[in-house]
Amino acid sequence: MILKTKLYEYQSKAVDKISKLKVGALYMEQGTGKTRTALEIVRKKLDKGKVEVILWLCPCSVKNNLREDIEKHTGDLPTENNIIIRGIAK
């Protein structure tokens, strides 16, 4: 996966901290770049062969925005072959 956008310093710090863990969460405010940060972690895991496919769970209301954000950062729309996006409801 090739990412077209750069990380901000605070995003890079989050990636360094979380990428060492098997399970983690990004508790970041709306609009601070959680998607870009998560994509960097995904890229690292894919490059190392640690994962083959990403299952990205999100509220149903943001599925389309998430697809657009992923396209903005990668230049490609996510496909079922690399990133599976599924909506969840309360």
Tell me the pLDDT of the chain (90 aa) as tens digits: 789 999 999 999 999 999 888 888 889 998 899 999 999 999 998 888 888 889 999 999 999 999 999 999 998 877 767 889 999 986
pLDDT at 40: 94
pLDDT at 20: 84
SS (H, E, C) the chain: CCCCCCCCHHHHHHHHHHCCCCCCCCCCCCCCCHHHHHHHHHHHHHHCCCCCCEEEEEEHHHHHHHHHHHHHHHCCCCCCCCEEEEEECC
Supply 39's token pair: 């994509």
pLDDT at 52: 87
pLDDT at 46: 87
